[in-house]
Amino acid sequence: MPVSRLDQGSTVDLLNTVWADRAGVHDELAEVDEKRELRDALRVLAADRTSDPRPVAAGHQDRVAEAVATVNAVSALAPSWPVLVDGDVRIACDAGPEERRLGELAAEAVRFFGSDPQLRACLAPGCVLYFVKDHPRRAWCSTACGNRERAARHYARHHSS
């Protein structure tokens, strides 16, 4: 169903605004406080859902209840309702555009986590991203991570003795 695909995309995109390269872990939302608070809560839920063993998710077990409360509160920020305008259905909302976007992101995330998504933590060396396992053989967030993992295994095989 196209709608749920869209929802999954935006939730995973938001989760992955934390990413890593050789220089370390980066945060794309470093200056957007409210969105970052939502994203951090969603990453706690993602870590919980995937039993994330990576250092970037350390301590998430103690923050799950707080994260659920944050996501639910943000989801309630921008209630909307259908209205008839000249015979067409429009969506009315009395929040400002920023609040509305944030509320929609949180509402999408609620539906995402409530739909039992096949969410996975990418366990390639150094990666901090999440992905939806959308086919049975998918094991990494990207082909780059798959290649990195294969190279690391190759290296370990040839340098262990």
Interacting residues toward Zn ion by CB under 5 A = 122, 124, 127, 129, 141, 145
Sign (positive or negative) of CA dihedral 43, 48, 52, 54: positive
- Closer residue to Zn ion in complex, CB, 11/70: 11
**Residues forming a β-bridge with 122:** none
Distance in Å, CB of 89 to Zn ion, minimum: 41
- Closer residue to Zn ion in complex, CB, 16/75: 16
Q: Which residues contact 121 (CB under 8 A, 6 or more apart)?
A: 46, 47, 50, 52, 53, 54, 57, 129, 130
- Closer residue to Zn ion in complex, CB, 90/153: 153
Distance in Å, CB of 140 to Zn ion, minimum: 5
**Residues forming a β-bridge with 121:** 130
Distance in Å, CB of 16 to Zn ion, minimum: 9
